[in-house]
Amino acid sequence: MAEGEKWCVVTGGRGFAARHLVEMLIKYDMFSVRIADLGPTIDLEPAEEDGVLGKALRSGRAQYVSADLRQKDQVLKACQGAEVVFHMAAPNSSINNYQLHRSVNVDGTKNVIDACIELKVKRLIYTSSASVIFDGVHGIVNGDESVPYPEKYNDYYSATKAEGEALVIKSNGVNGLLTCCLRPSGIFGPGDRLLVPSVVTSARAGKSKFIIGDGNNMYDFTYVENVAHAHVCAERALASESKVAEKAAGQAYFITNMEPIKFWEFMSLILGGLGYERPRIKIPAFVMMPIAHVVEWTYKLFGPYGMKVPQLTPSRIRLLSCCRTFNCSKANDQLGYTPILPLQEGIKRTIESFSHLRAELQPKRQGPSKASMYLGSGRVADTLLWKDKKQTFIALLVLVAIYYNFIAPGFTIITALSKLLLATIIFLFIHAILPGKILGFTVEKLSWSHFHLSEEMSQRVAMSVASSWNTAVHILKSLAKGNDWILFIKVAFSLLIVSFIGAVSLQSIFVVGLPIAFLAFYVYEKKEEAIDAMLVETVSRGCKLKSDIVGKFCKSNKIE
């Protein structure tokens, strides 16, 4: 490091928005840039190799350091000699894993703050999220920084981001450290690995035609270059020796393109620009919500056995159907932030950068069928879709044996369970005393690890139980206030469904449910397009009928 040379650190420097900030800092010749990320080495893409980043790495104006934010010694090494730290590292927001998000967004942020204080770093800019004030239920219209953190969050990413943000704000002024937090909303642009790829994946699966909700929910998106520009504005504000720095220090700021747009109009522009079908069929959120709950419960049950994380969850339905717009006046007044690229230009550049994903360049189907994806594309899907016939027949034989030995005789649940446990104990006892070989055949002995519950699994089960309990308590608290009729109707309807299911005998569930489970998904996979067309037609007619009834009802009330 040359004497007098000014260095900055960008944590998570190989992430989507961070890459754009790194290039902007190099172009502006503001600092020599240290890129900190998890990888042992930096692997440049061809465009980066020949661009400003590749040249800066070769000249020494940029350097890469491998650092895990969860290890304080590595963070100290990364921040050594830096004047500014842009803390942008965060796990993938679509992975709803509490331990992962807390270890990086909270514990990792603590390490970054401690390193900045210990090494006398002058400025720390933290990349937060607009989701820190979103509870996952109520929409936000022109929300500003006066809106408090909610009591409950939609996901672990938002919850831990809020914790990290609070820590950064609290650390302002400690040992001369100046801090501020930026809350970008809906980041998109070239290099995006989440929004556009997931939208294209849905389009290829035939889901792009659907609009969840009424389609009028407004959203604030932010082009990635504007996010990078906001970080530069924040750093310059904190660096200014005036009242500007005093105002900016210890503050949080919303960052958007300042051009709210209907969420589904934005999706239409992206999908249409890439040659895919635009969303046109409206499905009310209340219709999708019960299905999403069933999918979520199914994942909780079968997730440990290979079922992948589903896309159709209650939190996602709420996210797609509510308003989320934010006021950037504070960032404009105190940081001097104004978007450098308008929304339409950002959309145009994004579409051009994803030209390799255009519809005409893709085969008709890639990857598993929709039926397989709905089932998680794991062992459950292989069994119910007859992909692994041996596994399917074994599962059927086991279920048939359970039915004839425990269900058909009319046993109660307690009796059935006790007999099942008795049979299991007898089997294990006999299996244990059998010799290693019988008539030349090897008898495989069961390992005790088959019955061992790992610490990770125990924590996951405990967290799931605690989360379910807290959700139930939150619902009861809301009901006790007596002012949320929609919640009351939802809970009452759910309980009626549970009571209906509870009235069905276990025998009926086996007789009717099993054949449906093993045949319905198989048939759907074979006749996917025809069944989808029928469902679309049914939903469209149902929505039209509902609109007609509501229209007539309103008209009759006006006449009266």
Give the separation between CA 271 and CA 276, rounded to whole angstroms. Answer: 5
Q: Where are the beta strands (DSSP E) in 319-391?
A: 324-326
Cβ contacts of 215 within 8 Å, gap of 6 or more: 262, 264, 279, 282
Closest by CA to 265, choosing from 344, 328, 355, is 344
Q: How many residues are given for the chain?
A: 560
Six-digit token string for 98: 């509490």
Using a 10 angstrom Cβ sphere, with 0-12 exposed, 13-18 middle and 19 or more buried, the burial of residue 106 is middle
Cβ contacts of 329 within 8 Å, gap of 6 or more: 144
Q: Catalogue the active-site residues.
A: 161
- Helix, strand or coil, per DSSP, at residue 448: helix
Q: How is the chain split into domains, by residue range?
A: 7-366, 372-434+452-559
Give the separation between CA 526 and CA 444, rounded to whole angstroms. Answer: 38
CB atoms within 10 A of CB 323: 19
- The pLDDT score that the predictor gives to residue 107 is 97
Neighbouring-strand partners of residue 253 = 182
Along the 560 residues of the chain, how does pLDDT read in single tens digits? 444 579 999 999 999 999 999 999 999 998 999 999 999 999 999 989 999 999 999 999 999 999 999 999 999 999 999 999 999 999 988 777 889 999 999 999 999 999 999 999 999 999 999 999 999 888 999 999 999 999 988 889 999 999 999 999 999 999 999 999 999 999 999 999 889 998 998 888 777 888 988 899 999 999 999 999 999 999 999 999 778 888 999 999 999 999 999 999 999 999 999 999 899 888 888 888 888 877 777 777 766 655 666 667 777 888 889 999 999 999 999 999 999 999 999 999 999 999 999 988 766 555 566 666 666 666 777 777 777 777 777 877 877 777 777 677 776 667 777 877 888 888 888 877 888 777 767 767 666 665 666 676 677 667 767 777 877 787 788 778 877 777 787 778 778 877 776 666 667 777 777 777 777 777 767 666 667 666 666 666 666 665 666 566 555 555 55
Closest by CA to 162, choosing from 149, 144, 172, is 149
- The pLDDT score that the predictor gives to residue 110 is 97
- Helix, strand or coil, per DSSP, at residue 81: coil
- The pLDDT score that the predictor gives to residue 1 is 43
Using a 10 angstrom Cβ sphere, with 0-12 exposed, 13-18 middle and 19 or more buried, the burial of residue 554 is exposed
- CB-CB contact of 61 with 33 (8 Å): yes
- CB-CB contact of 197 with 165 (8 Å): no
- The pLDDT score that the predictor gives to residue 536 is 63
User: What one-letter code names the amino acid at 401?
Assistant: A
- The pLDDT score that the predictor gives to residue 207 is 77
- CB-CB contact of 259 with 51 (8 Å): no
What torsion, rounded to 10 degrees, do the Cα atoms 282, 286, 288, 293 define? 170
The CATH number of the domain covering residues in 7-366: 3.40.50.720
